[in-house]
A = this chain, B = another copy of it.
Amino acid sequence: MIIGVLTIGNELTSGKTQDTNSSYIAREVVQRGWKMIGTISVGDDYQAIKDGLDYILARADAVVVTGGLGPTVDDITTAAIARAYNRKLFTDEGTLNHIKERFARANLNWTNNNAKQAEFPEGAEVIPNPAGTAAGFALKVNDKMITVIPGVPMEARRMLAEGVIPVLVRAFPEEQQHLERRIIKTFGLAEAAVDERLADIDLDSLGVGIGFYPNFPEIQVVLTTSGADLEKAKKNLQQAEEQVVARLADHIFGFDQDTLEGVCAALLTEKKLTLAVAESCTGGLLTDRLTDIPGSSVYLERGVVTYSNTAKTDLLGVPAEILNEFGAVSAETARLMAEGVRKLGRTDIGISTTGIAGPSGGTEKKPVGTVFIALADKDKTYCRHYRYRWDRRRIKMITSQALLLMLKRYLKGELTDE
């Protein structure tokens, strides 16, 4: 089944309100194995609504319409659909009573313009609104299905699940499909490099689609397949995944809902290891990410943001002579920071960042974007050096990502000396 979305409202075309319904509806539709051709968003205007419906129904089996079902004069969705398909309006007594009851319960005065919300185009099936006064409806026009729900996201989501989807399943019973999806999350390769590594895989013959979604500093590779045979779809997806994984190898840090901090948290918890963090250029972002994971207090003993040299000496025991000789941004300082925070926090692992996030503070030898990261355990200290060419915020983000990847490799026993 092919579906399109029509969102209606002057608040959308003016940009006053951010539409979140169409994205939500698309996900629900695609996850059922149906095809979404896209969304049109128009103002509260008879001609624009008719044009939008015509456009979508020329290309789709069904349309999900949201918005414009309120009681006020600018809410014209029902009237516009009735006019577009030459239907008269009728009043649904059940809906009218439901609205009147809601008014009585809320101690609101009844005004007759509210009766408008109980009117529907002839031939329509009412889709009740358990959470509000704006009922929706489904209307079959020739062999196409028009379904209409309100724009308020909470009401729209519930009525989509309880009203629209069942109506569509009944109207197009032969269309049920299984959809399988796998998200492969990578770090350290540019989008084009990911693309090139995967170019020779024949995904078409497996019936698997691929997409690349940059989500700084990650690139996500999304594999999807759908079909009437669930087992076959799963098998094809798995074959595709194996080939992708073989080619992207250690640039992959997780799958589906994984985050790099979540992967590290799970490994630390599993291995019962504790962690202390010393940040300079990442300024707290790394610890912020680690503490986004519920239960992080189990392994995170402390984090310190040692922005001043004094703090590096006081809190981490980095000798002033080292800071003077090699500078705060140096491999020597990064190593001593990781070792120092580990020792003072009495943890299994210590990690550190030091660098120049910019925009000022760079020198010819150490330009903006120069970064050192280190990881220390009781036996050994590992250190890496990078040069990033981003703005301040993105240098912080990519440095925290690089250090989390280093931690993950360490926890998996894959971290090498250089």
Contact = CB atoms under 8 A, between A and B. Distances in A.
A264 interface: no
A407 interface: no
Interface residues of A, number: 107
B288 A283 contact: yes
Interface string A106-124: 1111010110000000000
Nearest to A35: B13
Contact of A212 (B42, B74, B314): B74
Interface string A3-42: 0000000111111111110111111111000001111111
Interface of A: 10-20, 22-30, 36-43, 48, 51-52, 55, 59, 70-74, 102-103, 105-109, 111, 113-114, 152, 190-193, 195-196, 199, 209-214, 222, 224, 277, 279, 282-292, 294-297, 300-308, 310-311, 314-315, 344-346, 357-360, 387-389, 392-393, 396
Contact of A11 (B73, B113, B211, B289): B211
A297 B301 contact: no
A154 to B, nearest CB: 9
Contacts of A213: 11, 16-17
7 contacts: A15-B26, A15-B29, A36-B43, A113-B195, A284-B284, A288-B288, A301-B307
A294 B210 CA distance: 39
Contacts of A71: 191-192, 195
Contacts of A192: 70-72, 111, 113-114
Given A283-B288, A283-B296, A305-B284, A222 B113 contact: no
A74 to B, nearest CB: 6
Contact of A109 (B55, B193, B283): B193
A19 B11 contact: no
A102 B388 CA distance: 11
Contact of A283 (B48, B282, B292): B292
A13 B26 CA distance: 6
A40 B39 contact: yes
B16 A27 contact: yes
Contact of A108 (B107, B193, B199, B212): B193
Contact of A305 (B12, B27, B304): B304
Given A14-B30, A15-B24, 13 more contacts: A11-B211, A13-B37, A14-B27, A15-B30, A17-B23, A70-B214, A106-B190, A106-B389, A111-B196, A114-B192, A283-B290, A283-B292, A285-B288
A205 to B, nearest CB: 16
A227 B372 CA distance: 53
Contacts of A308: 297, 300-302
Given A30-B15, A41-B39, A311 B301 contact: yes
